[in-house]
Amino acid sequence: MKLTASEEQDLEILRHLDDTLPPERLKRLNEVLRENPSARHSLREIADQAVAMGDLARTRALRSPSPVSSYPRSGGWWGRRSFVWAAVGVLGLFLALTLGRQVGRHQPDVISLVTVQGVVTWSAPSGIPRTGLKTGDRLPGGTLLVEGEGSSVQFRFNDGTLINLVGDAELSYSEEHQKRLWLSRGAFSAEVSPQTPGRPLLVRTATAEAEVVGTVFSLSSRPDDTVLKVEEGLVKLRRLSDGNTVEVPALSSAVASVDPSTTLAPAATPSPVDAWTFDFETTAPPPIWRGIWQAPTPEAAGRMVASPYIAGRKGNTHKITHFGISLRTAYLDPALSLQARKESVFRFRLRCDRPGPLQVMLFTSLPGGGHGGNFEYKTGAGSLHPRGDGWFDLEVPLAAFASLSPNHPSASGNILNGVMISSFTKDVALSLARFEFSPR
């Protein structure tokens, strides 16, 4: 069967993603990606789907001698391009073999869990999920899924390399010849021990690849770009849409976009600020924030309405759902860093159509990188006093937050990765009009 030009292009992108495209063809593809927005859109879609198909391939490899033949053939972008399924099968098996060579063989443990909080699931190359993870568990290569804004997992490779995966994130990892990470969504921070010469730690997202020899950094995979922030050492960042690379030194950041016309260059990381305001009444939030934004109308100002998220699990199947709104400054453009102070105060302008208790969560990291702990504040419905229009103001000083880990007794001095307000398991139609963070 002769492939169309579009199908040929998609196949080239697939080969680009698994590093099998010859240099001269890669050069031509980079030129196409620079000039063609449709090609860049395909790159992002294929990269996102490749990780998902890799998980599927690992499962099917145990059950069928021909995993490609059992893939579904209809529905969505992939169903309309049936030829790609075979190519995705190849890439999926590539990922499967990267995570666990010779499926079915016992795999050595490569990580140990340092802390586990909230809903965290691990799946082996066989695709069998494992819940109930706890500190001290040792695991072979596989995939860690972190569900819910308040969930996180911290794990350590055998050489001491420490990874902290936070809130609504998915990371596949392996260590055969060298460490390889696939961040399909979310964010993580890392303290990477010096790696073997010629075998750097590699991190892939839908839009970029980072090459790390030994450093402290954080990385966020957003819908259309990857944000790298280096605290110590040096990280090489490659933009997949055109192959351009940049070296990002300590105390610097860089953004690798799916659009190659944007600048790929390191910039000094701005110093964290201790005061910041976001007004939902007039400003649209980043779409990746938790909640549903209702744009302003002639009759009403804008607001953010709480949306459901997974906050816990009972047994292996029953999920506990809360309703919340989150703010994560790393997803702003440009990204912003907030630093908690002893005298910091959080102010929320809120509305609840039904009475119920509220919870405020802080997710933090240490100023030099690494996990800083999560913190919570709870208040009952009886302490909330709405005005005649239904809105009320909630003020919470930093000192009122309780630590969720004895290893991190205070948030003072930490960097705020996120703030979330929720109504637990009861949907009270919580709305947020304004958020303010400032010294008292």
DSSP structural state of residue 408 = -
C-alpha 306/C-alpha 314 separation (Å) is 23
pTM of the model: 0.74
The predicted structure's pLDDT at residue 87 = 43
C-alpha 236/C-alpha 201 separation (Å) is 11
Strands (E), 80-110: none
Domains in the chain, start-ordered, CATH in brackets? 5-99 (no CATH), 111-265 (2.60.120.1440), 276-439 (2.60.120)
206 torsion bin: left (phi>0), alpha (psi -120 to 50), beta (else): alpha
130-165 pLDDT, tens digit per residue, is: 888 999 999 999 999 998 877 889 999 999 999 999
> Going by DSSP bridges, is the β-strand pair 208-212/216-221 parallel, antiparallel, or unpaired?
unpaired
C-alpha 297/C-alpha 424 separation (Å) is 29
16 torsion bin: left (phi>0), alpha (psi -120 to 50), beta (else): alpha
311-351 pLDDT, tens digit per residue, is: 777 765 677 889 999 999 988 888 889 999 999 999 999 99
Residue with tokens 């586990």: 116
Nearest CA to 31 out of 260, 262, 265 is that of 260
The predicted structure's pLDDT at residue 103 = 44
